[in-house]
Structure 1
Amino acid sequence: MNATLKITRIGNSAGVILPKEVLAHLNAEVGETLSVVVTPRGIELSLAEPDFEAQMAAAREVMARRKRALRELAK
């Protein structure tokens, strides 16, 4: 699939409208959250994992508690 998208102004921000074919390819629906990842080839869009933020919060807590150990391991 090859699609050209136009950037439009949305308030003080900008956005693109995803055609229904792109949403179908992503297996996404209106109102769902997408994850954006920068890759060497460009930007990758995918459905966001529902528990990603909870996982990141747990990881940040462990990193904060084990800061010295992680610093030693990084040497």
Structure 2
Amino acid sequence: MTPAEFREARQTLGLTQAALATLVGRQARNIRQWEAGDRAIDDAAVRLVRAYLDGYRPSDWPPTSAASRPRRSSSTRPS
């Protein structure tokens, strides 16, 4: 998964960088670095994001309405 695909997946899921970081057990700065292409994206995080895109929701999924309703993202939206 490329950094752009990772960012688009997060946005599609309606998650902030901080919320995704919590779900994958990392810090928000790791998400920023992955999305910027400054560091290689952790394989475990990619597997989790793909599972989330397939509809898996862990018990600690953020309770916000934005996170419960996946949205389509466009390349012009800010992260």
TM-score, normalised to structure 2, is 0.22
Higher relative contact order (CA 8 A, sep 6+): 2
Per residue, is there more strand in 1 or in 2? 1
Per residue, is there more helix in 1 or in 2? 2
TM-score, normalised to structure 1, is 0.22
